[in-house]
Amino acid sequence: MFRILDKYLRFDGENVYMSMNESNQDFLSTNQTYNSQNESNEDYEIPPITPPNMPDPSLLHLVDHESSYHSLCHSLPPNSLIPAYSYQNMDLPAIMVSNMLSQDGHLLSSPLPTIQELVHSEGSSYDPSHQVSLLNRSGMLPSHMSPLTQSQLISQMGMRNAVTHGSPSPPGSKSATPSPSSSTQEEETESHYKATGEKRPSTELGKKPKNQKKKKKKDPNEPQKPVSAYALFFRDTQAAIKGQNPNATFGDVSKIVASMWDSLGEEQKQAYKRKTEAAKKEYLKALAAYRASLVSKSYNDQAETKNSQPNQPSKMILPKQTMYSLPPQSSSPYPGLASFLSPADLQSYRGHPHSSLSQSLNAKSMLPNISASPPPPFQISPPLHQHLRHPSSSLLNQPLNIQQVPQPPILSSSMALQSSMSSSPTGQQDFSHLSSEFQSSVGPRSPNSSNQPGNTDWDNEFPNRECGMNHCSSLSRDKSLYLT
């Protein structure tokens, strides 16, 4: 079974080689072609790739790029290796390609200034959006590739299909699943690469069997976790890689992306990380709203149960019908109490000795559904207490106001407070207002939204100037709560 594994394409000006996870020095010293390396395994023959700087009309648009590269990289002899997946062919943004040439020489035979540094040496800073915009034009990549380079890359990346299989094997086919190896061997391999910092040379060598755990069913309303910087990079890069190597499997692409990620400059990584940070903030907001909605729903569920079992007076009693409905794919429009609470908070609340609910509720019945816990504002951080002391101005009131619960005769302390809050003059109407506001800030922005597109400032997301209500004007003061 053929695998490209950590064999990286190496281009020495005449031929493209593949190395088996060797350091570049190793590769330089051995300078073995992929063919010779693998002759014991497969009868592959990698046709040398015509250098992209060879006369090729379709590559003319790249000539300047390349010539400038060579001219800039004085330390790079004409025949020295250039990074795997020649950027000329990859048609990747300069940032990516350049960074394959930079850093710790991971993909280089000699340290070089990055193209980006050279290109942007006049003080222009890295613009990740530009990069993304370039990358997102994945459709143009194949067309920009010369037929020659494209076919060459395909012949390399996709040769497994032609050679090893009579018919192409799907990349994700289960037949590709490596045979499990002994755990001892795995551990040794793992420890080796952890200790040495080397990349895993091959999935054939002691790949851990993937956990066969079933993926948890995700609540479609649950906000999606922000993707990591690497995932963003992968998303941006894979299209270009696939464009150049249509037959590259996911594993191939992953390795290429990983190598590129390794070679990516810190600045560029930071740019991606900044993106993820921003996304994370948005996620936290959405998560807060989502958790609030869960609490709300669980209240309703409990109320439903209560209605069917009226002999349990100590349980939270809430009407089955809420005053609002949660739209699909959107979180609760308001960030409720639970939004500030981690499960640990909720658990601690459950265990609080002064919690009448915890006393009255069967702990066992509580455990399976943490979100079913009553709003635990009384054992949480001081700011929340402060908010509770100012119910008229606290955003925390929102989930309580909307419930407009006919209070049961027996109330816990929290319920008592909730009851008092429920009598607030701000009711459903206020909530609806807040709902639309919050959705416009957390969810996809409506074109009609008054918020500035792309403005993620909290104050803009909760423009109290439109509200005029005290609780809305307090939103900005509460923002720290959402971000904690």
Partner DNA sequence: TTTCTGATTGTTGTA
Partner DNA sequence: TACAACAATCAGAAA
Q: Footprint of DNA on this chain (CB under 7 A)?
A: 3, 5-6, 168, 170-174, 176-178, 194, 199-200, 203, 207, 210-218, 224-225, 227-231, 234-235, 238-239, 242, 250-251, 254-255, 257-258, 261-262, 269, 273, 276, 280, 342
Closest distance of CB 130 from DNA, Å:
19
For DNA, which is the closer residue by CB, 108 or 303?
A: 108
Region of residue 144 (phi > 0: left; psi between -120 and 50: alpha; otherwise: beta): alpha
Tell me the longest C-alpha to C-alpha distance in the chain. 88
Choose between 285 and 433: whose C-beta lies nearer to DNA. 285
Answer positive or negative: Cα dihedral of 100, 101, 103, 106: positive
Considering the complex, what minimum distance in angstroms separates the CB of residue 20 from DNA? Answer: 12
To DNA, the closest distance from the beta carbon of 5 in angstroms equals 7
- Minimum distance of DNA from residue 112's CB (angstroms): 21
Nearer to DNA, 47 or 170 (CB): 170
Q: Which residues contact residue 4 at a Cβ distance below 8 angstroms, ignoring those fewer than 6 apart? A: 18, 157, 160, 248, 249, 251, 252, 255
Q: How far is the CB of 145 from DNA (least distance, A)?
A: 16
Note whether 455 and 282 are within 8 A (CB): no
Shorter beta-carbon distance to DNA: residue 189 or 403: 189
User: Do 411 and 419 touch, CB atoms closer than 8 A?
Assistant: yes
Question: Cβ 103 to DNA, closest distance in Å?
Answer: 12
Q: How far is the CB of 221 from DNA (least distance, A)?
A: 13
- In this complex, which beta carbon is closest to DNA, that of residue 342 or of residue 480? 342
Minimum CB distance to DNA smaller for 210 or for 465: 210
Cβ distance to DNA smaller for residue 269 or 320: 269
Contacts 24+ apart (CB under 8 A), 319-327: 319/403, 319/404, 319/405, 319/406, 322/296, 322/402, 322/403, 323/402, 323/403, 323/404, 323/427, 323/428, 323/431, 324/402, 324/428, 324/431, 324/432, 324/435, 326/221, 326/293, 326/296, 326/297, 327/439
When the beta carbons of 177 and 359 are compared against DNA, the nearer one is 177
- Smaller CB separation from DNA, 61 or 225: 225
CB 220 to DNA: min, Å: 8
CA distance 377 to 83: 56
- Pick between residue 225 and residue 385 the one whose CB is nearest to DNA: 225
| CA atoms of 26 and 24, how far apart (whole Å) | 5
Least distance CB 171 / DNA (angstroms): 5
To DNA, the closest distance from the beta carbon of 155 in angstroms equals 18
Shortest spacing between CB 399 and DNA, in angstroms:
22
Of 17 and 234, CB closest to DNA: 234
User: Which C-beta is closer to DNA: that of 257 or that of 411?
Assistant: 257
Closest distance to DNA from the beta carbon of 153 (Å): 16
